[in-house]
Amino acid sequence: MTDTTPPEGDSKQSTAEPTEGPVPPTLGVSISRNGILLGLFALLSTAIIAATYLGTADKITEQKRQARLKALYQVVPRDQHDNDMLTDSIEINSAELGHRKTGSILLATYHGAPLALIYPVTAREGYSGDIDIIVGVNIKDSSVAGVRVLNHKETPGLGDKVDVRKSSWVLNFEGHSLGHPDIEGWAVKKDGGIFDGFTGATITPRAVVSSVASVLKYHHQNVSEILKRIDANRAK
């Protein structure tokens, strides 16, 4: 039998084996350069994202402000009041009205006389989460001056009909008050109330009706105090 074991000290055999040891200088330089490039790229991407966010955040805030103003003027039209509603206001954060953060109750006046209070209310039992609403209540008879949905995530073609841009359903509240109808009537027809629901989508209108009724109850209990606080704010 032939012996295939290489003789000891065979230098050719040892150079053919894979080696572990210091990285060749050119490979090391290339790794460092790629690392730096990657770092720079990450920095640049972060900067672009941050700049885009900052640029659009302001725009989004402004768009929301404009949408809110538009809704406010739909509830109490410009020609029916002559004060700055945004100034004649108080801060509120009420569990009864579903608030998750502080909002403002606004007062509309005409020739100094209180005309309507506009309340923010959040319906938490929407189909797809919170529905932010404003409800105007006339001071003279505690009836609804107007209701507008500001933000919602309800399904297009179903729950989104609470948005006045999609249907006139929300206009049905105008003129109604706690006694008209009585408290049992403050529900959708399916639950024995007077307000229409939507075909195959009762959850959303039910949530909105309940929120509007809760504003009327809150108004009934707190109107005097709210007007006093707004007056006190104005005097400051």
Ligand X SMILES: Cc1cc2nc3c(=O)[nH]c(=O)nc-3n(C[C@H](O)[C@H](O)[C@H](O)COP(=O)(O)O)c2cc1C
Provide the 8-state DSSP code for 116: E
The least CB distance from residue 202 to ligand X, in Å, is 3
3-state SS, residue 75: helix
Within residues 68-127, the interface with ligand X by CB under 6 A covers 127
129 neighbors 105 (Cβ within 8 angstroms):
no
Closest alpha carbon to 166 in 198, 190, 207 = 198
> Which one, 150 or 223, has the nearer CB to ligand X?
150
Residue from 103, 114, 146, 159 binding ligand X (CB under 6 A) = 159
Closest alpha carbon to 119 in 156, 154, 146, 79 = 146
Order of all β-strands in the sheet with 103-110: 89-92, 103-110, 113-126, 129-138, 144-151
> Which one, 198 or 218, has the nearer CB to ligand X?
198
Please list the alpha-helical segments (H only) found in 76-109. Answer: none
Stretch that binds ligand X, among 2-10, 33-41, 140-148, 151-159 (CB under 6 A): 151-159
195 neighbors 174 (Cβ within 8 angstroms):
no
Please give the residue whose beta carbon sits closest to ligand X in the complex: 159
Using rule CB under 6 A, residue 151 touches ligand X: no
The least CB distance from residue 81 to ligand X, in Å, is 34
| Residues 192-231 as x/- pattern, contact with ligand X by CB under 6 A | -----x--xxxxx---------------------------
Q: Which tokens is 181 given? A: 């109808």
Stretch that binds ligand X, among 10-18, 24-32, 73-81, 155-163 (CB under 6 A): 155-163
- For residue 188, CA distances in Å to 110, 197, 207 come to 34, 6, 9
> Which one, 146 or 197, has the nearer CB to ligand X?
197
| Single-letter amino acid code for the residue at 171 | L
204 neighbors 162 (Cβ within 8 angstroms):
yes
Residue from 106, 133, 139, 154 binding ligand X (CB under 6 A) = 154
> Which one, 74 or 202, has the nearer CB to ligand X?
202
> Which one, 88 or 132, has the nearer CB to ligand X?
132
| Residues at the interface with ligand X (CB under 6 A) | 127-128, 154-155, 158-159, 190, 197, 200-204
